[in-house]
Amino acid sequence: MKESYDWILKQLPYSEPFLFVEEILNISDKGIEGSYRFSPDLDIYKGHFKNKPVTPGVILTECCAQIGLVCLGIYLLGKKSELENVAIGMSSSQMDFLIPVYPGEQVRVISELVYFRFQKLKCEVKMYNENDKLVCKGVLAGMIGVANE
């Protein structure tokens, strides 16, 4: 039986239309793998680009960050305990975009932990399309912790 990672998804500080995580496929202390399908109905496709829509690189980066940094960070912080007030902030991103992602495509993000210390999380991320072609890759870093109220 496949393990459920719904507890992580419930902790995400995002909702539609800015949620770019559908499923966590695998996760460990060393990394994460997750997926998302870009619905053709997303508003971003109405103007990027006229009559030939593609997913903007900033949205691909956000998808990689939500899966590769935030979901992994919640796992590392929580280890299945309930977290409240998860605070996140991306501090750096270096991404290379190789091929476009079109409306309706499903992508898979694989993130490998570089380090997690003093609430700073750094990962190497790769995104693949449904044909297992590398879409983009890079290094993302951010701060993640539990905020005090």
pLDDT of residue 80: 43
Helix or strand (DSSP H, E) at 8: helix 6-11
- Helix ranges (H only) for 31-122 are 57-65, 72-78
Q: What is the pLDDT of residues 50-87, one digit of tens each?
A: 889 999 999 999 999 999 999 999 999 886 455 666 77
- The domain locations on the chain are 6-146
Residues 148, 137: Cα–Cα separation, whole Å: 34
Q: Is the pLDDT of residue 110 over 90?
A: yes
Q: What is the pLDDT of residues 122-137, one digit of tens each?
A: 999 999 999 999 999 9
Q: Is the pLDDT of residue 147 over 60?
A: yes
SS3 18: coil
Give CATH for domain 6-146. Answer: 3.10.129.10
pLDDT of residue 92: 87
Lowest mean pLDDT among 27-31, 85-89, 108-112: 85-89
Average pLDDT score over residue span 23-33: 96
Higher pLDDT among residues 37 and 6, named by residue: 37
Q: Indicate the pairing of strand 134-146 with strand 120-128.
A: antiparallel
Higher pLDDT among residues 87 and 42, named by residue: 42
